[in-house]
Structure 1
Amino acid sequence: MPFAGPNTLSTEPLEGGIEIDEAQYQAGLEALAAGLHISIENGFAIVDPPPPAEAPPPPPPTLEQRRDQRRDEVRARRWAVEMGGVEIAPGVIVRTDEGSQAKITGAVQLFGADPTLEAIDWEAQPGVWTTIDRETVTAIGIAVGRHVQAAFSRSRALHEAIAAAPDIETLEAIDIETGWS
């Protein structure tokens, strides 16, 4: 005579199990092979498997892991500020993405290398052309350089504050959104 227990079949008696007939035994074998379960709570029954247990929540990050995360947040914020442009006069925004920084640096170097050069043509914004002289290029170069340096200086100060934070509460209180020029 076959027997069934919780999600178990046997041809030998099972402790806590029940006796079943041959048809139930065959149905049980097919059910187990199909990934179903056997219940004996109220007699023999083939049931759906229980839902998977919820994974426990991950442990909270350690102080050092959270410091790493905060440093990454500061780097992302610094990059956004650096690339976001600088206002050199009311309503006059100079782009500061990497390509613009390189072109401005090149223009400053060109004027420095060629004392006979008086002005250059410049596309200030897509489709907006202007002619700029040595003094203007130098002023733009200084403004962009200071803008980039200010972003790095703020980033450094935040990195130092993150390193000095003695606990997660202090670390979380560090405001990385303000203080950028």
Structure 2
Amino acid sequence: MHLLVRDGYVVNVIEPPEDSDWAPPEGCILVEATGAIGDHWNGSACTAPSQVPISAPELLAYAADRRFAIETGGITLPNGAPIATDRDSQSLITGAWNYVLNSENATVSFKTAAGFVSMDADTLKQLALAVGDHVQKCFAAEGTIALAIATGTITTQADVDAAFASIMESA
């Protein structure tokens, strides 16, 4: 197994072509070792990222990245409908809700993965509130985690992941 490493982290697991002209991309090195994308490369072996000691600022950045991934990863409504929560979808839902509130139109149309749907004001309100609630829970979770990092309760990426899982599950 060959690992492509950049700045001390595995960025890809590859089998390079046997062509002798092949070279790793600029800024990367190729090592023969066992590991996975995201592992830390210390020059001789890989370590899972959750086991690598990192500073509080690095943990805060990791927590922000995790929050963003969860925030924009979508939700499933109680009726089983999947809803995208990426930033564009959040904006479109907010815009549609504002449109209904400030116009005489009682319905809006959306294009979904399943096709076009029309939503009345009550349905759109429930959708907007569900997405808004999800986004706010994500930011609140990150705030709680940031405080735990500051107090030394959370010290690894695995701790951050576990905290997000616990907070979002109970929310």
TM-score bracket, normalised by the shorter chain, equals 0.5 to 0.7
- Identity level (%): 25
2:142 is aligned with 1:155: yes
Paired with 1:123 and 1:99, the residues of 2 have a C-alpha distance of 13
Paired with 1:144 and 1:175, the residues of 2 have a C-alpha distance of 23
2:93 is aligned with 1:104: yes
Shift in Å at residue 94 of structure 1?
0.8
2:102 is aligned with 1:117: no
Other-structure match for 1:176: 161
Other-structure match for 1:30: none
Larger Rg: 1
Shift in Å at residue 176 of structure 1?
2.6
Paired with 1:174 and 1:109, the residues of 2 have a C-alpha distance of 39
Paired with 2:141 and 2:78, the residues of 1 have a C-alpha distance of 22
Could you tell which deviates more after superposition, 170-179 or 144-153?
A: 170-179
Mark the runs of 5 or more structure 2 residues left unpaired by the alignment: 1-42, 44-52
Whichever residue aligns with residue 165 of structure 1, its letter is G
2:55 is aligned with 1:66: yes
Conserved? CA contact 1:161–1:174, under 8 Å: no
Cα deviation per residue 1:121-150 (whole Å; 9 max; x = unaligned)? 11122x611111000111100000000000
**How many residues were matched structurally?**
116
Conserved? CA contact 1:162–1:174, under 8 Å: no
Other-structure match for 2:77: 88
Whichever residue aligns with residue 87 of structure 1, its letter is T
Other-structure match for 2:123: 136
Mark the runs of 5 or more structure 1 residues left unpaired by the alignment: 1-54, 56-62
Other-structure match for 2:31: none
Conserved? CA contact 2:90–2:131, under 8 Å: yes
